[in-house]
Structure 1
């Protein structure tokens, strides 16, 4: 393996001035912009302030949150061998080199480009409205049997993430597998793959997912996804899902970029075709035709979508000259990410077992529908209730209402008995479902998990699916499992269409401040609650901090010991010490519940000392 960049090679590429100069034998080989990106050794951290980050990424909305990493880098300095900075970080260990540059964000692209220019291996780029992460993991797993492999870390698939991954080219692995989001392809200047220059480009699915720019239809999505083949190397191959909408458009676009095309899927005209697949307890058995070869393999993953992704992976390695029949044998040893169609079981305190299909890693419309399909098939094997706990889909813009409403029919067709819905956008779906089907609508994930856990009985089957970004849905798995362990302590819950507002203790009313007209009324609007001046002042201060940008709704608050002690109060939510809760959730609970543990947690967040809070 190549040793990476030396101190002189680094300054030759990006310029700058060493504030703290490294030794002559110093090297770095992994670019990182966050603590989670510091993986293994050789991490060169690129510190970026908020304005620079927003200018460089173009991020808006839920993606616009960023904290100046110059300020918090000392907290994880043990993970790095050096830092690119725009100002001297005095809190760093004096032995850690610091290179001062004018624009730290631009460094990422410069180093990614330099590494790519010198790279002699093969690059596989993968995009798709759904399935790209799983396909990336499968391709990476198959290639590890043939050489050294580097790949996208986590879901760092934005234009920034792709450039960071290209930086891994500096170590000269045999293969680089890059996951690419549509936001890295729709820029006016052209997609990021003009920089990546892949040898193989894969499109796993086309559906309306993240919207932005000129992408507001499936056809526009197909055109942008086809940009995965921009910059494709001479003789390069595009691997396309034959079953996806707008296949013909995507095919014509990638050909125009210079790619040859291999198709895969269940379609009778697919080059790599699934002939038969059979779901079993531990995954699927698949029989496929690849050219003139008939292959059969076991895939330890659930659902038709995963079967399709496995064929995409086999087609991708075939495009690199690897025998797919031989590669298929390696699929049976793959382990996908936690919370990706992951089957779980939970022992109930009163006896018996409830079964959970955890697909809460992320969600798009396409992956939501795929999860429904797997849920329908698997739930039919259980005698208990069929329950879905669903979180909102994000980044849908003006289409959010219509898209969430369209989930109703596929959801009803699963045969689900009860549905727990979490997140603002899910209110659109509530109105489209039969009243007896909706267990509740929630803005607090803890309450949602607690209510769902309280009604679980032996052989119930539960689906977890939703977007994690800018909300607490990523905590649904741990919250549900924790609540199940305390099932015998949970208050009784009666499912009802309006969730918390179906309870006689709650009401909601919105009034036009000028005309006095009632705009919205739900639940028991005659209920009166005595609320002290302190909580109202706290609410006013919190809203003021949010308005001034001092606090963000999607930032997380860590519950400390004093707040946790308040959990014993009758009106408390019951947060545990060390638990992380979004500010959005705490604000909602302060308004709706006036819980003492919530109030103290917020007060301590806005104060330096517990006594001041």
Structure 2
């Protein structure tokens, strides 16, 4: 029988709550009755909807107990606290205190989820591991991830996101990482933060929570690397590792031979040259890999094991995975799904990877570009600046989606302007009309632009293309 994640007594002591009845044990923690598993502790958070409205449903579905502030909403085992989110935070901090896990925190304007997933793969090879699901990186996602951490965890990695000053400071104090990493500083959330310097400072808050003599990991190639170093020096970090292409970096990419679906290269790891292979598209993935190795080193993991784990990673939905879809009249197109999210830096990385892809037969390169959000007053210029890298990638036709994409369409050579769609609701029709047999179709945009709807539609056509491709 597996060790329970929480006994009633442990959960009550950690959260500061009151038990209506004891004797239960929880094997997981859930905030959503749709994905709740029997034996989970259901946490009745209030967000778009009040979780208390679903407390009885959770118990009926087999929840071990519910964490609530209003015990009268249901009958059954209840853990009663004055504030549910605060109770979850305390539960997470209790999980942190009882475990000897080496904890790694990851933030950055781009790449943080990809790096978190890569570190999770590395840590799984090194022993019992724990990591953030999806992009659970906010004020409830981080404590939820902490609360789910088994006591026997050896290594854990937590993603931390923000769009306002002070948010990461709060999250890093919950996690108290032994290793704190920044992937890259890039234009994102400019609307709220006002400047790139402010973004760098907000991301640097991750170092505030470092355990004594912890390890800070920073991008050596970044324009704001000196500013990040200053933040590290003002923190409790005992060590700093940098990564990238810059000479002298602790983990440095010496060479990388990139192909459409990955590449091979060589990196210097603290003075030791090491060969590596990736199955992830884009030259930026080599730099990400260097960052993963640096963070793994900080966490006490052998770099050979880290590179072995990295060699097995494959792109996932929304992050560069490619598939074939069959349209009407026998047309088969290759779809490159980069629809998870977007900012100027990740857009350029996607275009760079697209440059290496070759259409099939008489096919062309099509790009469906959704608008980028939260860029502030420079939004128009930042969208327009994507025209040149799109041209360099050899794109033949561009479909823009959303108001922000108008500036990009206006900056493109007229021959490349296929369509502009006010919303993603009409983009499926535009693509199916425009696409030719053999085309490569890149789909990239912010989540709110809705371009992921196009990917979903094309995925429905993927099965029928498998036999044809």
Give the alignment's TM-score, normalised by structure 1. Answer: 0.70
The residue that corresponds to 2:317 in the other structure is 338
The residue that corresponds to 2:42 in the other structure is 45
CA deviation after TM superposition for structure 1 residue 298, in Å = 1.6
Q: Secondary structure at the match of 2:373?
A: coil
CA deviation after TM superposition for structure 1 residue 139, in Å = 0.8
Q: Name the CA shift for 1:481/1:233 in 2 (closer, same or farther; >3 Å).
A: closer
Contact 2:111 2:288 in 1 (8 A): yes
The residue that corresponds to 2:52 in the other structure is 70
Contact 2:260 2:282 in 1 (8 A): no
Larger radius of gyration: 1
The residue that corresponds to 1:246 in the other structure is 224
Structure 2 CA distance for aligned equivalents of residues 15 and 362 of structure 1: 38
Of residues 335, 347, 372, the one that matches 1:368 is 347
CA deviation after TM superposition for structure 1 residue 227, in Å = 1.6
Contact 2:162 2:168 in 1 (8 A): no
Structure 2 CA distance for aligned equivalents of residues 134 and 454 of structure 1: 33
CA deviation after TM superposition for structure 1 residue 36, in Å = 6.7
Contact 1:191 1:230 in 2 (8 A): no
The residue that corresponds to 1:130 in the other structure is 110
Instruction: Kindly indicate whether residue 29 of structure 2 is the aligned counterpart of residue 28 of structure 1.
Output: no
Contact 1:387 1:461 in 2 (8 A): yes
Structure 1 CA distance for aligned equivalents of residues 168 and 262 of structure 2: 42
Mean CA deviation greater in 157-166 or 76-85: 76-85
The residue that corresponds to 1:6 in the other structure is 7
CA deviation after TM superposition for structure 1 residue 374, in Å = 0.8
CA deviation after TM superposition for structure 1 residue 378, in Å = 1.8
Structure 2 CA distance for aligned equivalents of residues 111 and 84 of structure 1: 10
Q: Which runs of 5+ in 1 are unaligned?
A: 54-65, 488-613
CA deviation after TM superposition for structure 1 residue 14, in Å = 3.1
The residue that corresponds to 1:406 in the other structure is 385
Of residues 176, 180, 190, the one that matches 1:201 is 180
Q: Name the CA shift for 1:319/1:383 in 2 (closer, same or farther; >3 Å).
A: farther
Instruction: Kindly indicate whether residue 155 of structure 2 is the aligned counterpart of residue 175 of structure 1.
Output: yes
**Alpha-carbon RMSD:** 2.8
Contact 2:252 2:268 in 1 (8 A): yes
**Deviations along 1:499-523, whole A, 9 cap, x unmatched?**
xxxxxxxxxxxxxxxxxxxxxxxxx
Matching of residues 189-268 of structure 1 within 5 Å = 190-211=169-190, 215-259=193-237, 260-268=239-247
Instruction: Kindly indicate whether residue 131 of structure 2 is the aligned counterpart of residue 151 of structure 1.
Output: yes
Q: Which runs of 5+ in 2 are unaligned?
A: none
CA deviation after TM superposition for structure 1 residue 315, in Å = 1.4
Structure 1 CA distance for aligned equivalents of residues 35 and 390 of structure 2: 37
Q: Secondary structure at the match of 2:180?
A: strand
**Deviations along 1:157-192, whole A, 9 cap, x unmatched?**
012211222223453311111011134x82279342
RCO comparison, higher one (Cα < 8 Å, 6+): 2
Structure 2 CA distance for aligned equivalents of residues 460 and 200 of structure 1: 44
The residue that corresponds to 1:509 in the other structure is none
Q: Secondary structure at the match of 2:291?
A: helix
The residue that corresponds to 1:60 in the other structure is none
Q: Name the CA shift for 1:201/1:355 in 2 (closer, same or farther; >3 Å).
A: same
Matching of residues 305-454 of structure 1 within 5 Å = 305-351=284-330, 353-379=332-358, 384-454=363-433
Contact 1:344 1:356 in 2 (8 A): yes
**Deviations along 1:95-115, whole A, 9 cap, x unmatched?**
x52233321121121112222
The residue that corresponds to 1:557 in the other structure is none
Mean CA deviation greater in 223-232 or 77-86: 77-86
Q: Secondary structure at the match of 1:367?
A: helix
Q: Name the CA shift for 1:412/1:172 in 2 (closer, same or farther; >3 Å).
A: same
CA deviation after TM superposition for structure 1 residue 74, in Å = 5.4
Contact 2:106 2:158 in 1 (8 A): yes
**Deviations along 1:127-168, whole A, 9 cap, x unmatched?**
111111111111111111111111111111012211222223
Q: Secondary structure at the match of 2:306?
A: helix
Q: Secondary structure at the match of 1:420?
A: strand
Give the alignment's TM-score, normalised by structure 2. Answer: 0.90
Q: Secondary structure at the match of 1:176?
A: strand
Contact 1:348 1:484 in 2 (8 A): no
Instruction: Kindly indicate whether residue 280 of structure 2 is the aligned counterpart of residue 301 of structure 1.
Output: yes
Matching of residues 512-531 of structure 1 within 5 Å = none
CA deviation after TM superposition for structure 1 residue 414, in Å = 2.3
